């Protein structure tokens, strides 16, 4: 099929791309219709129109829903990029007309800060109350592709140790905000808090809650035990949920790891306390990731400024 920009523009409409994107996100024509407040036949008709134009199937229908074909995946990547630009255009027009509105989508890693991000969001709302903010939580393999595709404006979280050599570093930039420390923690009533001196070997026999394999924090954990010449503990629960981990440590036996800022947030009665170890542990740099190939809209740009202001206030307080 020979195409041109004019022929594509005549036949392919933005609303079709929106519907196609939602069908893929929902995994079902029916669920997409419900989200879009349309009938299923209307959604099906749009998909058929797109497939007729491309002269090939974009979706494979099955008993469990739909999935994209190879061509459908190619169209989806470009569609999401165009929809991101359309959203940015809408934000810029609104910002020009009203000065304080728009939409920013912020991704955050599960191990990211628990107070810096809320502080930045509060600053944003003080400056521009009508800006809509959507926060998405995930891991690198989810958020970075979304950031590159334009589905997410910014991602706040730990900078990987091997960041400069990673494939994403060519498409993404990062503002390093501050260097975070790591704490080994237990419930406030854990018996080892009474010890004057401690090392990792003293903590090793207890139950542990550790980040799952493949996560950035797990690499740090593995290094902590390796440097202490110890194997990983044998009694382990794997979890990245801060609330779950803090609850597990209320047995006053289980031990876990948290960034320093998170530890401060959940310290006190019913929370956790950091063990007084003879070594300092480094969690890593906390940064704000952005796409090198896409200009930030007004709302995202303002949030980035607020993030830096919140970071400056946090460091001054620290």
Ramachandran region, residue 261 (left: φ > 0; alpha: ψ -120 to 50; beta: rest): alpha
Is a pLDDT exceeding 80 seen at residue 101? Answer: no
Q: How confident is the model at residue 2 (pLDDT cuts 50, 70, 90)?
A: low
* Structure tokens belonging to residue 47: 């998909």
Is a pLDDT exceeding 90 seen at residue 191? Answer: yes
Q: Please tell me the pTM assigned to this model.
A: 0.67
Could you tell me the sign of the dihedral formed by the alpha carbons of 119, 122, 127, 132, in that order?
positive
| 186 vs 64 pLDDT, higher one | 186
Q: Could you give the CA distance from residue 11 to residue 17 in angstroms, rounded to a whole number?
A: 12
Could you tell me the sign of the dihedral formed by the alpha carbons of 147, 108, 216, 180, in that order?
positive
DSSP-based three-state secondary structure for 189? coil
C-alpha 254 chain-centroid distance: 27
Longest Cα separation, the chain: 76
pLDDT of residue 113: 61
Residue pair 204/275 in contact by the 8 Å Cβ criterion: no
For residue 102, with 0-12 CB atoms within 10 Å meaning exposed, 13-18 middle and 19 or more buried, which class applies?
buried
Q: What dihedral do alpha carbons 300, 177, 267, 122 form, nearest 10°?
A: -30
Q: Could you give the CA distance from residue 145 to residue 157 in angstroms, rounded to a whole number?
A: 15
Helix extents (H) in 165-275: 200-203, 216-227, 242-248, 260-265
* Structure tokens belonging to residue 209: 């809650």
Residue pair 160/244 in contact by the 8 Å Cβ criterion: no
Tokens 């905000």 found at: 177
Domains in the chain with CATH codes: 5-76 (1.10.10.10), 100-178+285-317 (3.40.190.10), 180-283 (3.40.190.290)
Section 173-184 average pLDDT? 90
Maximum average pLDDT range among 75-89, 137-151, 191-205: 191-205
Q: How confident is the model at residue 99 (pLDDT cuts 50, 70, 90)?
A: very low
């Amino acid at each position: 099929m020979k195409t041109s920009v004019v022929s594509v523009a005549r036949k392919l409409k933005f609303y079709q791309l929106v519907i196609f994107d939602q069908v893929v996100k929902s995994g079902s024509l029916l669920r997409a219709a419900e989200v879009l407040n349309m009938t299923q036949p209307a959604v099906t008709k749009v998909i058929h129109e797109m497939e007729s134009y491309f002269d090939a199937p974009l979706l494979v229908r099955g008993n469990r829903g739909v999935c994209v074909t190879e061509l459908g995946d190619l169209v989806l990547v470009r569609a999401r990029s165009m929809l991101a630009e359309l959203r940015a255009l809408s934000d810029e027009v609104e910002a020009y007309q009203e000065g304080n509105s728009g939409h920013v989508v912020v991704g955050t890693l599960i191990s990211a800060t628990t107070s810096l991000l809320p502080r930045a969001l509060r600053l944003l709302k003080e400056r521009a109350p009508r800006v809509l903010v959507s926060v998405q939580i995930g891991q690198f393999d989810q958020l970075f592709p979304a950031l590159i595709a334009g589905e997410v404006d910014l991602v706040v979280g730990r900078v990987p140790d091997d960041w400069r050599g990673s494939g994403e570093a060519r498409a993404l930039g990062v503002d390093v905000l501050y260097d975070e420390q790591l704490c080994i923690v237990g419930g406030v009533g854990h018996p080892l808090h009474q010890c004057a001196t401690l090392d990792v070997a003293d903590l090793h026999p207890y139950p542990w809650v550790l980040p799952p394999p493949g996560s950035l924090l797990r690499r740090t954990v593995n290094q902590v035990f390796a440097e202490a010449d110890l194997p990983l503990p044998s009694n382990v629960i794997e979890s990245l949920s801060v609330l779950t981990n803090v609850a597990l440590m209320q047995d006053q036996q289980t031990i876990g790891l948290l960034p320093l800022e998170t530890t401060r947030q959940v310290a006190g009665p019913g929370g956790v306390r950091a063990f007084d170890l003879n070594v300092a542990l480094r969690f890593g740099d906390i940064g704000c990731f952005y796409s090198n190939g896409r200009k930030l809209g007004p709302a995202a740009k303002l949030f980035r400024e607020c993030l830096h202001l919140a970071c400056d206030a946090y460091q001054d307080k620290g």
